[in-house]
Amino acid sequence: MPKSSTDRPTAPETVWLAAGRHTGPAPQQALREHLRELKNSETIQDFLEPENASTPDGHVFEARWLVDDDVTVRARLVTDGRDHVDAERRWTLAAEAERPWDLSWPSPATMFWPEKSDISWDRDSVAGLRLQDINPLPKDDAALRRMLKDIARHSWSINVVVHEAMTPDPEGRLPLTRLLPPALRHRVVEHRATPEQFHAVNWALGDLGTSVPRGGAVILSGTPARVGFDEQAFRVRSVFLDGSEPTELLDKVVQFAALPWPLPDDAAAALTALRQDWRLLTLEEELAHARALAASYSEALEAMTTSRDLYREATELAHAALAEMAEYRDAVSAVRASASGQDRHPLTKTLQRVTDSLLPRRAPRADTLQAARESEERARESSG
């Protein structure tokens, strides 16, 4: 059974997450070359392609850089492991800063991928839609409905549907995502519906419980829905596609991005891998890691030593108990033999030995000892 929004952890404010597709050849080579250029220009502090980090499911790259001069960002990008030259490859990127994320900071995607090049990496992971361009909605109604369902349920991106009230001029055909803060430009997919698609797109959006105003825009909730999402609050009645800045829509996208995001399973896994499998350590971090390992080994050794001493003590006590039981068994056998009439005088000695051996452990009651002595005297008299 899928987890509900309330069962899922939400993305921390320090984290930036994105997933996309690379549609061109040799993504790993492109990543290496771009990371090397950024390190040489000191845009990033360092990067690493960890040895043995590649698996059948992915190839790993790590990078570290500073924002605002003193805030460290650590990021981990994984491309899937298929080796087909022309096949599309999914990539996931998780980045975490030392303080809550500022949307004015550079997009972590551009710290791995070259922002302006012929490399086709900036596609949404679900439908292969452009992250920095306009995506016309399909003309076929069934394809339109299927695509909107897929992106609403599986895309990590913020999906915005804009309806054109009339066919826009060249200025209106520029993507609105270019006006967003840098850290949002690779997390938003802009869909456009033509004027004649108004009824078809709202028919398809009806499956998702929303609609787009004529000549306006709507932000899809995603799955799981963001905490505090209100469908009416993220609809814009008018978007003027004349080259002017659609301030209301841009503000809505920023507000939506700030809502707590219950992480899908694969996004949660990407964040966990960033935190637990990180290998690009500074010298200070390596020293701290070595100290932590030494402390852990010391605790384990101490626990093993304590366990060994306890085991030895328990063994000694067990042997002592077995010896006492054997002695007691021999004494009981002697008592029974004496009582059968074979020898009366050894009975006294046996009882005395048993009594002496038990005295240090448990002082017998006086009336019990008196009864034992009287029984002994009667035995002597009867034997005489």
Rg (CA), the chain: 39
Burial 106-122 (b: 16+ CB within 10 A, else e): ebbbbbbbebeeebebb
Task: Please tell me the predicted confidence (pLDDT) of residue 83.
Answer: 47
Domain boundaries, the chain: 5-276, 283-383
Higher pLDDT, residue 362 or 6:
6
Spatial distance between the Cα atoms of 333 and 327, rounded to a whole number of angstroms: 10
Cis ω before 224 (30° cut-off from 0): yes
Burial of 133 from C-beta contacts in 10 A (0-12 / 13-18 / 19+): middle
Spatial distance between the Cα atoms of 105 and 123, rounded to a whole number of angstroms: 21
Higher pLDDT, residue 35 or 83:
35
Global pTM value: 0.74
- Residue 57 binned pLDDT confidence (cut-offs 50, 70, 90): low
Task: Please tell me the predicted confidence (pLDDT) of residue 369.
Answer: 53
- Residue 368 binned pLDDT confidence (cut-offs 50, 70, 90): low
Across the range 66-95, mean pLDDT stands at: 84
Task: Please tell me the predicted confidence (pLDDT) of residue 23.
Answer: 83
Residue 148: count other Cβ atoms within 10 Å of its Cβ: 23
Higher pLDDT, residue 310 or 234:
234
Task: Kindly state the tokens that stand for 13.
Answer: 């404010």
Spatial distance between the Cα atoms of 117 and 130, rounded to a whole number of angstroms: 14
Higher pLDDT, residue 122 or 360:
122
Q: Is the pLDDT of residue 62 over 50?
A: yes
Higher pLDDT, residue 130 or 284:
130
Q: Is the pLDDT of residue 85 over 50?
A: no
Task: Please tell me the predicted confidence (pLDDT) of residue 9.
Answer: 92
Regarding beta strands 235-236 and 89-97, do their DSSP bridges make them parallel or antiparallel, or are they unpaired?
unpaired
Query: Measuring CA to CA, how many Å separate 307 from each of 73, 259, 297, 314, 320?
Result: 43, 51, 15, 10, 20
Spatial distance between the Cα atoms of 287 and 271, rounded to a whole number of angstroms: 24
Spatial distance between the Cα atoms of 198 and 205, rounded to a whole number of angstroms: 11
Spatial distance between the Cα atoms of 337 and 343, rounded to a whole number of angstroms: 8
Q: Is the pLDDT of residue 239 over 80?
A: yes
